[in-house]
């Protein structure tokens, strides 16, 4: 988007609260991440969080190989939702948005899932996959925001940045 930025991580407990819906959780965590970065006057902080949801079960980052392979087996041949919350903290406060995208996976065999796990790519990804990487070969179709699945929905982020007084690249402006 033509922005000059610095990337930094923050320590936030990413656990889902009891009874908390996935869409509420990702927006809450995005806000917590933006606030945890100590939004000082004159700065703009972006926070985001992504979850993969299949039949109301939230798939966060896999705990280990067995958990990652379980997630990939569950997603195999099914349509699931990827929910990404994004928040922008600025002098005007914190604004947030939600991106929800439907993704359909083809059937993934156990050997293929194991080979993918052993690539190292899915170990720190919600739902144990990265659509922009090797797992792109598993995807039959995407309905919604591809960038939301990657982890930062560009359209929603650009709109929030505009509310914070930051103009994304002029080429993107006409799309907003």
E strand spans, 57-105:
57-59, 79-90, 93-105
User: Which entry of 4, 13, 49, 64 is annotated as an active-site residue?
Assistant: 49
Q: Are strands 93-105 and 79-90 parallel, antiparallel or unpaired?
A: antiparallel
Two tokens, residue 50: 């992504």
Whether residue 91 contacts residue 42, with contact meaning beta carbons closer than 8 Å, is answered with yes
b/e per residue, 35-44, with b = 16+ CB within 10 A? bebebeeeeb
Query: Could you tell me the maximum CA-CA distance found in the chain, to the nearest angstrom?
Result: 52
Establish whether 23 is a catalytic residue: no
3-state secondary structure of 168: coil
89, 157 in Cβ contact below 8 A? no
Q: Which residues contact 114 (CB under 8 A, 6 or more apart)?
A: 69
- What the block records as the tokens of 110 is 């156990």
Q: Which residues are catalytic?
A: 49
């Amino acid at each position: 988007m033509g922005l000059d930025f610095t990337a930094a991580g923050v320590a936030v407990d990413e656990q889902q609260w009891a009874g908390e819906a996935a869409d509420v959780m990702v927006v809450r965590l995005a806000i917590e991440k933006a606030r945890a970065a100590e939004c000082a006057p004159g700065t703009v902080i972006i926070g985001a969080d992504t979850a993969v949801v299949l039949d109301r079960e939230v798939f966060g980052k896999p705990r280990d190989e067995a958990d990652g392979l379980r997630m990939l087996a569950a997603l195999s041949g099914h349509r699931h939702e990827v929910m990404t919350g994004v928040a922008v903290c600025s002098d005007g406060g914190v604004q947030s948005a939600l991106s929800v995208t439907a993704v359909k996976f083809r059937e993934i065999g156990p050997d293929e899932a194991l080979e993918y796990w052993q690539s190292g790519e899915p170990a720190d990804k919600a739902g144990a996959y990265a659509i922009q990487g090797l797992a792109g070969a598993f995807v039959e179709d995407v309905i919604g925001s591809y960038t939301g699945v990657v982890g930062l929905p560009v359209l929603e982020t650009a709109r929030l940045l505009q509310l914070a007084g930051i103009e994304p690249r002029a080429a993107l402006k006409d799309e907003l």
